[in-house]
Amino acid sequence: MSGLADGRGRVVRYLRLSVTDRCNFRCLYCHSNARHSFIPHPHILRYEEMARMVDIMYGLGVRKVRLTGGEPFARKGCGDFLVMLRRKFPDMDLRITSNGSLLVQHLDALRAARVSAVNLSLDSFDRQTFARVTGRDTLPVVLEALDALLAAGIGVKINAVGLRSINDGQMADFVHAARTLPIDVRFIEFMPMGGDTLWSEDYFWSAEAMLAAARACTELIPAESGAESAGPARMFSLPGGKGRLGFITPLSNHFCHACNRLRLTSDGRLRTCLFADREYALRPALRHPRLADAYLARMVRAACRHKPLGADILRARQGAAVALKSMQGIGG
């Protein structure tokens, strides 16, 4: 099959696949004041169905897959699923995003699956702040996971949501981590996701302000990368440092013109844009006994043609939530 492109000529090569909406953390930027109800188990795609969708996407030119959640390892068998994907797709750039709390016991699976990198959600190196953000006092466990990943030779990117009045006074800790460890530390602007999001101007720490805070701690050297697999972060090296610092700006300086991804929720809904609430239900077709892969591929192509520009949606919402569904339901 030929490649997958949208109506603006953006070529899709990247799938973010949510394996579950369940999570053992309650991060304030992901949850809201509303009571969360989990997707009923019969509606969650089986791993075999997810592997089938990855196969279809591979045929459409996708060469990078990231497993997300919820917390991926909150679902039983996630490690085995990683290994299954590696066996089926030996040349796939296979990655996972995790909060790290359940990761250490799956280290063998990560190695066997030759995972390219793990994105570790870590919003503070201060135990009290970590507990405030996540609702769980498990920072030592997450730091153990970080050490185990590095010891195993698995690449690590730390994702930290910048939160004004919460972790905005802790830039020196993140700079220290990037200076002393071979990791990328990436700050992400807090996005107003979910109809009852806790987002407010009081919490919003802009990437510009984060960058200024980092420059107050260290010299930053722009790290240019022309690699096709490079993500949306603006990356910087540190003099004498082993790692790098990066800043992701979905609100203050969007990168929608270069978006190359689709999202598949754990209940089989294709989402062409993080900010757009429109979803395409693939689960009925996946479970229909007479619908072949070619039919599903046509569904994906048709959906992709209407992939919007997220920045237009953001402007239209004028500070209101940019999506009614929370990140936990969409997949991080």
What local confidence, expressed as pLDDT, does residue 313 receive?
76
Q: Pick the closest to residue 206 from 166, 169, 163 (CA basis).
A: 163
Give tens-digit pLDDT for 286-329. Answer: 999 999 999 999 999 999 999 988 778 777 766 567 677 777 77
E-assigned strand segments in 152-249: 155-162, 184-189, 221-222, 234-237, 244-248
| Residue 193 burial (CB count, 10 A) | 24
**By the 8 A CB rule, do 265 and 271 touch?**
yes
Sign of CA dihedral 83, 85, 89, 91: negative
Global pTM reads: 0.93
Map residue 248 onto helix, strand or coil: strand
DSSP category for residue 275: T
3-state SS, residue 86: helix
Question: Residue 4 gets which letter from DSSP?
Answer: E
Contacts of residue 231, Cβ cutoff 8 Å, sequence gap at least 6: 248
Q: Would you say the C-alpha torsion 47, 53, 54, 56 has a positive or negative sign?
A: positive
Place of tokens 């302000």: 209
List C-alpha distances in Å: 308 to 5, 249, 277, 284: 12, 18, 11, 24
* Cα angle 45-48-52, degrees, rounded to a multiple of 5: 95
Exposed (0-12), middle (13-18) or buried (19+): which is 282, by Cβ within 10 Å? Answer: buried
Q: Which tokens sit at 77?
A: 């068998």
Q: Are strands 279-281 and 269-271 parallel, antiparallel or unpaired?
A: antiparallel
pLDDT tens string for the chain (332 positions)? 468 999 999 999 999 999 999 999 998 888 755 556 788 999 999 999 999 999 999 999 999 999 999 999 999 999 999 999 999 999 999 999 999 999 999 999 999 999 999 999 999 999 999 999 999 999 999 999 999 999 999 999 999 999 999 999 999 999 999 999 999 999 999 888 776 777 788 899 999 999 999 999 999 999 976 554 457 889 999 999 999 999 998 766 677 888 999 999 999 999 999 888 899 999 999 999 999 999 999 999 999 999 988 778 777 766 567 677 777 778 77
Q: In what order do the strands lie in the sheet with 221-222?
A: 221-222, 234-237, 244-248, 184-189, 155-162, 117-121, 93-98, 64-68, 14-18, 261-264, 269-271, 279-281
Please give the CATH topology (third level) of the domain spanning 4-330: TIM Barrel (3.20.20)
HSE of 89 in the Cβ direction (CA atoms, 13 Å)?
Answer: 22
